[in-house]
Chains A and B, each alone.
Chain A
Amino acid sequence: MAKRGLIGIVMTIWVLFSMIVIPLYTLSLLERGISYGGQLVKISIVRLNVGMITLLGLIAMMLTAFSYAFGGKVDAFLTFIKYMVVAYYEWTWAQGIKELVIAVNGHTINVGIYLDPWIMLVIAGSLLLGLIKAIYKFLEAKEESESQVFK
């Protein structure tokens, strides 16, 4: 039980860092500018909904914490919801990078990256994995509760 709790805390912190802290810190670094070949290159992602990224990251973090806290069938349900939140998080990023502004030596270049069909495949794979994990956890919880009834 204590081990599960510890893993839950570590995973929750990891979600916070991987979905909010690291991406948004990298974004602010790029906006302030990085030195490339002796030149200062500033990259800003104009269309990215930073508020939505933060919100989805926080929701995923809470879902991770709750899934470890409750366990059983609730864990299975929360796992799938978390995968859905992460899918929307990936979609938000894909929409954001459609408009980037790169500034080098006073010159501004507008760049857009269009990943829609590819990100849809990534999301489909991710949701399927989430569904499998959720079903697996549900079956495990069901078997456990049945064995407790027989005892």
Chain B
Amino acid sequence: MKMRGLIRALKVLSYIIWILVTVIGTVVFYNITTIQTGFDTTPSGDKVIITVSVSYKGYLFDIKINITFTLYDQYGNVVSKNGSVMILHPGDAKTSTITLRVTPDVKSGELNVYLVQLVFGYEFIGFRIKEPIETGGGP
């Protein structure tokens, strides 16, 4: 009889976990699809100012977005690196400026975006995108 009670308790617990996983998972994956980013580049002397705009129309949970630009010379050494971290609540839209020093020895660049859904303050599901960016080879 005690065993039957234990089974019932475990059953309820497993249902609670399944509902939590399904609901949170659905909301989190939907939220990720509502993020929009835009980049606007303005050259200024030996620098380039990148304005990053992010909008987020998700539900319940906040998102953290970490954007980093890295410029390399022909040997793969880092010439310039800068980034920005933004935390957005549902319905937020934010902009951030990132300044990079561009010298003639710049041969390649890389954009690194790390997007993470915060659930009760914890990083729950994250996506990292790393892609090469076109560089003009300096001013």
The chain A residues found within 8 Å of chain B, CB to CB, are 107-115, 117-118, 121-122, 124-125, 128-129, 131-132, 135-136, 139
- CB contacts under 8 Å to A, within B101-123, are 116, 119, 122-123
Q: Is the CB of A117 within 8 A of B122?
A: yes
> Is there an interface contact between B129 and A110, defined as CB atoms closer than 8 Å?
yes
Roughly how many angstroms separate A118 CA and B128 CA in the complex, as a whole number? 16
What is the CA–CA distance of A139 and B123 in the complex, to the nearest angstrom? Answer: 41
Query: A132 to B14, Cβ gap below 8 A?
Result: yes
Q: In the bound complex, what is the Cα–Cα distance between A139 and B10 (angstroms)? A: 15
- Find chain A residues with CB under 8 A from B125 CB: 113-115, 117-118
Asked whether any CB of chain A lies closer than 8 Å to the CB of B100, the reply is no
User: Are A125's CB and B127's CB within 8 A?
Assistant: no
| Contact, CB under 8 Å: A132 / B11 | yes
Which residues from chain B contact A131 at a C-beta distance below 8 Å? 10
Whether the pair A112, B10 counts as a contact (CB closer than 8 A) is no
List, in ascending order, chain B residues with CB within 8 A of A132's CB: 7, 10-11, 14
Q: How far is the CA of A122 from the CA of B25 in the complex (A)?
A: 10
- Residues in chain A near residue B127, CB distance under 8 A: 111-114
Asked whether B43 is an interface residue with its Cβ less than 8 Å from the other chain, the reply is: no
**A114 to B126 CA separation, bound complex (whole angstroms):** 5
In the complex, chain B residues whose CB is within 8 Å of the CB of A121: 17, 20-21, 24
A-B contact pairs, 7 of them (CB 8 A): A108-B132, A109-B129, A111-B127, A121-B20, A128-B13, A139-B3, A139-B4
